[in-house]
Amino acid sequence: MGPVVDWGHRDYGDALGAMRRAVAERRAGAIGDTLFFVEHPPVITVGVEGDDGGAAASGLPVVRVERGGHGTYHGPGQLVGYPIVDLDRRGRDVRRYVHEVEAVLVDALATFDLRATHVSGRHGVWVDGERKIASIGIAVDHWITLHGFALNVDLDLAPFEQFRPCGLDGSLMTSMARELGRPVGLGEARSAVGSAWVARFGGSELRPPLGPAAETPSAA
């Protein structure tokens, strides 16, 4: 299995290109299953289910991508994870994979004494079944996963109210900082999610940010 790698702060378009290259490398066997962490500057991404036009009206940059779901917001203070996983070796069960990713986030949040759950019929992770703290949207290319999850750690939630994130009212979105009533560092969240990922998916612990010349790890 591959490692958990931190890309640091990275433009969405740049990260998208690197993610797609990682998919090709995983398919070729050049790398193992790998989770990439990243923090993006403000951007709205829109999945294959589209949105109600609010994303464009928000005034924020909008990028349309091949993942499932509607539109969502990425910005500073949010931990984004892009798992590149070969589902051919995991039974080709996309639904189970999504639930496993949700479980990783639930496990990580539990280390902060934050009780979060999956809500039947809805993707993502919720607090008290009412407030969404993490969004999930994936794509699968020849059974290799791309895109992933966005965990609201300590960010300005106002941009979510400028459109309908995941087809929902933006007021339903919450963050770790809001729920805990204190500032939460992105490093705290990275450590917790990385450990929870390794516990469920295997691999090695978090590596530091990679430079442009070494954006994917060697085979594992």
Determine the average pLDDT of the residues in 9-30.
96
Task: Choose the catalytic residue: 19, 35, 116, 166.
Answer: 166
Determine the average pLDDT of the residues in 21-40.
96
- The domain segmentation of the chain, as residue ranges, is 3-214
Confidence of residue 83 (pLDDT cuts 50, 70, 90): very high
Active-site residue 205, yes or no? no
Judge whether residue 2 has pLDDT over 70. no
Task: Name the pairing type of β-strands 34-39 and 62-64.
Answer: unpaired
At 125-140, the pLDDT tens digits run 999 999 999 999 999 9
- Provide the mean pLDDT of the chain: 88
CA–CA distance, 186 with 197 (Å, rounded to integer): 16
Confidence of residue 212 (pLDDT cuts 50, 70, 90): very low
Judge whether residue 220 has pLDDT over 50. no
Please name the fold of domain 3-214: BirA Bifunctional Protein; domain 2 (3.30.930)
Q: For residue 100, which phi and psi values (nearest 5 degrees)? A: -65, -40
DSSP string, the chain: --EEEEEEE--HHHHHHHHHHHHHHHHTTSS-SEEEEEE--SEEEE-TT---SHHHHT-S-EEE-SSSSSEEEE-TTEEEEEEE-BGGGTTT-HHHHHHHHHHHHHHHHHTTT--EEEETTEEEEEETTTEEEEEEEEEEETTEEEEEEEEE-S---GGGGGS-GGGS-GGGB--HHHHHTS---HHHHHHHHHHHHHHHH--EEEEPPPPGGG-SPPP-
Look at 212 and 30; give whichever has higher pLDDT.
30
CB-based contact 37:68 (threshold 8 Å): no
Q: For residue 30, which phi and psi values (nearest 5 degrees)? A: -75, -25
